[in-house]
Amino acid sequence: MMDAYFIPILIAGAFAGLSIGLLSVFIVGMRMPFIGSCISHAAMVGAVYASLFQVNPTLGALVLSILAAAGVAFIHPHRRHFDANTGQAILLAFMMGLVFLAVALEEGSRTEMLGLLWGSILFADWGTVVVTGGLAVLLVAFVIAFEKELKAVLFSRSLAAVTSAATEPVYLAFLCFCGLILAVNLKAVGGLLIFSLLVCPAAAAYQVCRGYRSVLLAATGFGAMATTLGFLGSYVFNLPTGACTVIVGTLIFGACSLVRRALAISE
């Protein structure tokens, strides 16, 4: 029988998967996976250095992830002399160097810091449920309110920037949402592995769905499924949360790929 303390953990995990799965539709759709990687690793940098200096890790993750989101937003894809993916790869490498430098500088116990890297279900409580649930609702409302602008960015950010001045602020706001959600869920899923949730749900949804809204619904469902089953696996087998979540998310993608292939053969 499940312990009562695990109920908020499971609910918080479902909200986390739902919101990150929704984000993944745009990250994968823009074919710029380094965006999510940069922001998630920036959140991890903020968390580990906050832990190093005895500050709330979530606060550090929030600050760094928002700064990274703003920085990534100003890397324009239509600048021919500088590829956006190249800039994001440079930022990613820099963030990884800072993370491992912080781990090396920690002279005391590294348990909390390693927990930030690999994830732990012990970090979630009812307060986490309220925050993750609130952010999920706000993200859904944002996607609905700015559906036209987000579709334009999905099609081509370069063309969207030229044809409409409103797309750039919406793109920046979307990346800030990305930073907020990743920072809040960093402790539970882990900074090194949370990036997979920004890829697998949408990649799986694109395998079996064709319409914009059907992809959104499928990706959010796959994200919630990955985190819920991953958290359950972590609880039952006493394994790192992030690792379990990543494995489940990858298996979901594999299953969807097989379904797509089977449908293609039958046609």
- Mean pLDDT over 170-175 rounds to 88
- Residue 233 inside a domain? The answer is no
What CATH number does the domain containing 86 carry?
Answer: 1.10.3470.10
**pLDDT at res. 90:** 81
CA 54 – CA 176 distance, rounded (Å): 25
- Residue 257 inside a domain? The answer is no
- Residue 262 inside a domain? The answer is no
**pLDDT at res. 78:** 56
**pLDDT at res. 159:** 56
- Residue 252 inside a domain? The answer is no
Whether 252 and 203 have beta carbons less than 8 Å apart is answered as no
pLDDT score of 23 more than 80:
yes
Return the minimum-mean-pLDDT range out of 44-48, 102-106, 189-193. 189-193
- Mean pLDDT over 233-259 rounds to 90
- Mean pLDDT over 85-111 rounds to 82
118 or 69, which is more confident: 69
- Residue 173 inside a domain? The answer is yes
SS3 150: helix
Global pTM value: 0.86
CA 48 – CA 259 distance, rounded (Å): 40
| Structural domain boundaries enclosing 168 | 6-194
Domain tally for the chain? 1
CA 114 – CA 266 distance, rounded (Å): 47
- Residue 204 inside a domain? The answer is no
- Residue 185 inside a domain? The answer is yes
13 or 85, which is more confident: 13
pLDDT score of 41 more than 70:
yes
**pLDDT at res. 3:** 74
Q: How many residues does the chain have?
A: 267
> What is the rounded average pLDDT for all residues in the chain?
84
- Residue 218 inside a domain? The answer is no
